[in-house]
Structure 1
Amino acid sequence: MVEDIDPVAYKRAFRETPNPSILAGPDFVIRDVNDACLRFTGYERDELVGETPDVLFTDPAVFFGEVAPALAVENPWLGSFELKAKDDRFRYGYGAATPLFDDDGIIAYAGVFIDITRERRAEQTTRILNRVLRHNLRNDANVILGHLDLLREQAEDEAMEESVAIVEARINRLLDRAETARELEDLISVDSDPQVEPIRVDELLRDAVETARDQYESVEFVVDELVPASVAAGPALATAFDAVLENAVEHNDSDVPRVVVGMEPDDRTVRVTIADNGPGIKQEDLPHVFSLDERSQIYHGEGIDLFFVYELLAEYSGRISVEANDPRGAVFTFHLRRQSDDEEE
């Protein structure tokens, strides 16, 4: 029974908890802090006991404007904030605070901090580097494309014109990859909150196929009946359709490349299929199609697009799968959550 545990054990459990923690009274005055909090903040215990928790906040308004009001009405609080150490350095992370009760009401408040400072700084640094690299890539690509225009004007035979066209296409593809990387960065950022709303998947899919038809004139696109249906998604779903359609064409080695697009709605989901007659995917490679690991890069050089699609659908509470087509090729299936226009998000 819990009642049989010595109170000393409770105190040790609190003091030795690995995350910085505090215990405050009903008046919000700190009664105790654990050892992790002392190591983390650089304070001595007697420097914190008797103070209110706002002393540990870089912005005390977060405590008085969010934490205290929630606890005062007997609600727990969970959020992110910056914690200030004794040497004025700050740590970024997540905090959780909850009221503790006995039969007479609130007897104390407990708070815990989870430090993600290094992860936060790494993410910010990576984002800045990516932004700089994309900027430089665009600038260099524009210079190259400008010189390609000059070469095209001076081309003396079809072979040179074809070479210029190939280089131009590759440069534009690099720019497209950079844009996909930016969208992926925004998608998986801790600060991102993808907008989810009812989206007419049939309209989005029809537009994506028309765009692909214009881009790949030698490919036969077959579209099964598209019935009106809305799914819980956002405008970025169009990019996902574009990526899978491009994948179905770019890796297709058939004499007559063929892509069949269809959708199957039911009461709860909408399945969108994009099937091709290309070389297909080996059975042992199927688990790696949507990853960015080394194996994926060896067998699927455009893996960043499919990884983007996988992560995007997860944000929309959906998923994408792939299987072999019969008799040849691959079938990608989008599993999307159906949502009516008047349904609550």
Structure 2
Amino acid sequence: MSGPVRHLRSRRLLAGGSVSLLGCLLLGVPLFDIWDDATNLSWSVLTSLAENALFFVLASALVWGGVWLARSDWGTDRVTVVAKRTVLATLVFAGLIAWAAYLQLQVMGALKPQILAMDGVIIGAVTSFGISIASTRADVYRAAADEERALKESLELLYRIANELEGATTHEEVYGITDHGLDDVFGATPVRVVIDETVVIDADAPDCQPSERVPIGERGYIELWGDDFARHDVTTAELFGTHLDEAIRRIERETRLREERDILEFVNRTLRHDLLGDLSLVEARLRMLDRNVVFEDPAHADHLDVSLDRVDDMHEFIRTMRTYMEALLDADHSLEATPLPPVIDEELEDIREAHPDAVAERSAIPEVAVEADDLLSHVFSNLFRNAVEHNDAETPEVIVDAELAGDVVCVTVADNGPGVPESRRKDIFEKGAHGTESSGSGFGLFLVKDAVENYGGEIRVRDNEPRGTVFELELPVASG
């Protein structure tokens, strides 16, 4: 036997032996009383034994308890603590009784057995109260520890269930995970789950009021039946409801996005094939009329010119819409470094060709590339056309300026038109909003704002001096 093991065994034997020895010493009290009754009071042995039988049993139990304690499977530290507390409590109790007896002898010159007995009752009552308090507090701490452990286990289980819910793609899959998860968390507890006024899980729910009802956001609730729910059970159900609500919302969002994506793909195919093809056919027929027909009435020729102009506008609008939707539908769509001056120059040249009576100029543009995509040309095309086509000045002007400010380039597009009232500046970028005297779709400036913000930039509008509008764009400079 090794030294540490021998030491532990010795401690256990010493602890148990001290308790048994204490029991043996206390056995002397009833033995002495029997002897005293027999010699001084002439009591029969049976009568004296009956009087002291209980005390014999208690002292003998202490002797046996010491032996059991030494042989128990408790840890040595616990055995030692029990022995120390037992011996210490006995010594304190005996000391108090001895102190009371000493005071009686010193002050009164005689013992008062009745008073000593009552003092023992008082000491026993206080000792019992202290033991009860200590035991109760230990139970409270143990219950709190059990509650915390149970909550921790529930949270770990909820974490696993939350991961499973995160991977669910349909409502049925979510409800299946929820059914198994609730069974893992609450076992045989009857459970009912109601989503959007529909019972989706009904695990042996009785026809009576539930013990607990936990909300699932604003769409439903979890009902639980049971006699006694701990606080951690309710907390677990609440967290479960939160995860379930988020999973359902996510699936609904993804479903809406898939439906919207399908619609966009349908519209994009329609624009690319049907509408654009029909429009090309109309344009071809109109141009054939323009080449081969001489109208007697000049007004008829004007109608043809207007129709051709509108066809050109529709072509441009369809191309813009196609580019925008392709950017939305492309799952691998990413921004790339796009040189800024060539884009601005190309769109200004298109404006000069389309509107030779207008002034379209720019100052020095920093030779930088910005984070953008194919929509950047449509951004400037839309702003330049708005500046010229919705301009009531005798000579429409659009002036472009730009300067570098750290990691962004600030571009201004100024015109000399009627301007935008301050009350409408927040609305002109909304879908369906029209500019001054505009008969367009109201989509152009919305696309401009959406594209610029997708680049990580900003767009603002302010007054020009002495008249007109200035659009200010901040575009992030491409890194590298």
TM (normalized to structure 1)?
0.66
Does structure 2 retain, via aligned residues, the 8 Å contact 1:186–1:192? no
> Which amino acid is the alignment partner of residue 218 of structure 1?
D
Aligned residue for 1:118? 255
State which of 123, 136, 143 in structure 1 corresponds to 2:274: 136
Aligned-pair identity (%): 22
Deviations 1:232-266 (A, max 9, x none): 22343122111111111111121111111111113
Structure 1 residues 209 and 187, CA gap change in structure 2 (3 angstroms):
same
Aligned residue for 1:174? 314
Aligned residue for 2:68? none
Aligned residue for 2:162? 21
> Which amino acid is the alignment partner of residue 304 of structure 1?
F
> Which amino acid is the alignment partner of residue 298 of structure 2?
E
Structure 1 residues 37 and 146, CA gap change in structure 2 (3 angstroms):
closer
Deviations 1:157-184 (A, max 9, x none): 4332221111111122112212211222
Which stretch shifts more, 276-285 or 229-238?
229-238
Q: Does 1:288 align with 2:427?
A: yes
Whole-Å Cα distance in 2 between the matches of residues 299 and 285 of structure 1? 13
TM (normalized to structure 2)?
0.49
Whole-Å Cα distance in 2 between the matches of residues 235 and 132 of structure 1? 19
Aligned residue for 2:54? none
State which of 317, 328, 332 in structure 1 corresponds to 2:471: 332
Aligned residue for 2:360? 221
Aligned residue for 1:233? 372
> Which amino acid is the alignment partner of residue 147 of structure 1?
R
Aligned residue for 1:258? 397
Does structure 1 retain, via aligned residues, the 8 Å contact 2:323–2:374? no
Whole-Å Cα distance in 2 between the matches of residues 228 and 138 of structure 1? 36
CA RMSD of aligned residues (A): 3.7
Does structure 1 retain, via aligned residues, the 8 Å contact 2:398–2:414? yes
Q: Does 1:247 align with 2:382?
A: no
Which stretch shifts more, 322-331 or 235-244?
235-244
> Which amino acid is the alignment partner of residue 318 of structure 1?
G
Query: Once the 2 structures are TM-superposed, how far is the Cα of residue 15 of structure 1 from its aligned partner?
Result: 8.0
> Which amino acid is the alignment partner of residue 144 of structure 1?
V
Structure 1 residues 3 and 322, CA gap change in structure 2 (3 angstroms):
farther
Whole-Å Cα distance in 2 between the matches of residues 171 and 296 of structure 1? 20
> Which amino acid is the alignment partner of residue 477 of structure 2?
R
Does structure 2 retain, via aligned residues, the 8 Å contact 1:261–1:273? yes
Aligned residue for 1:312? 451
Whole-Å Cα distance in 2 between the matches of residues 184 and 280 of structure 1? 27
> Which amino acid is the alignment partner of residue 194 of structure 1?
S
Whole-Å Cα distance in 2 between the matches of residues 259 and 298 of structure 1? 16
Count of equivalent residues: 266
Which stretch shifts more, 7-16 or 136-145?
7-16
Aligned residue for 2:264? 127
Q: Does 1:162 align with 2:302?
A: yes
> Which amino acid is the alignment partner of residue 462 of structure 2?
E
Q: SS in structure 1 opposite 2:466?
A: coil
Unaligned runs of 5+ in 1: 25-32, 50-109
Query: Once the 2 structures are TM-superposed, how far is the Cα of residue 10 of structure 1 from its aligned partner?
Result: 5.7
Query: Once the 2 structures are TM-superposed, how far is the Cα of residue 39 of structure 1 from its aligned partner?
Result: 4.4
> Which amino acid is the alignment partner of residue 136 of structure 1?
D
Whole-Å Cα distance in 2 between the matches of residues 4 and 287 of structure 1? 58
> Which amino acid is the alignment partner of residue 45 of structure 1?
H
Does structure 1 retain, via aligned residues, the 8 Å contact 2:335–2:455? no
Deviations 1:300-325 (A, max 9, x none): 53531221121111221112211111
Larger strand percent: 1
Does structure 1 retain, via aligned residues, the 8 Å contact 2:428–2:435? no
Q: SS in structure 1 opposite 2:392?
A: coil
Query: Once the 2 structures are TM-superposed, how far is the Cα of residue 284 of structure 1 from its aligned partner?
Result: 1.1
Does structure 1 retain, via aligned residues, the 8 Å contact 2:164–2:177? no
Query: Once the 2 structures are TM-superposed, how far is the Cα of residue 21 of structure 1 from its aligned partner?
Result: 2.5
Structure 1 residues 296 and 10, CA gap change in structure 2 (3 angstroms):
farther
Does structure 2 retain, via aligned residues, the 8 Å contact 1:252–1:279? yes
> Which amino acid is the alignment partner of residue 319 of structure 2?
E
Larger helix percent: 2
Aligned residue for 1:202? 341
Whole-Å Cα distance in 2 between the matches of residues 334 and 210 of structure 1? 20
> Which amino acid is the alignment partner of residue 266 of structure 2?
L
Is the radius of gyration larger for structure 1 or structure 2?
2
Query: Once the 2 structures are TM-superposed, how far is the Cα of residue 4 of structure 1 from its aligned partner?
Result: 9.6
Aligned residue for 1:149? 287
Aligned residue for 1:45? 180
Query: Once the 2 structures are TM-superposed, how far is the Cα of residue 331 of structure 1 from its aligned partner?
Result: 0.7
Unaligned runs of 5+ in 2: 1-143, 185-242
Deviations 1:212-237 (A, max 9, x none): 21221111123222332232223431
Structure 1 residues 298 and 282, CA gap change in structure 2 (3 angstroms):
closer
Deviations 1:255-304 (A, max 9, x none): 111111111113322111111111111111100111104x5489753531
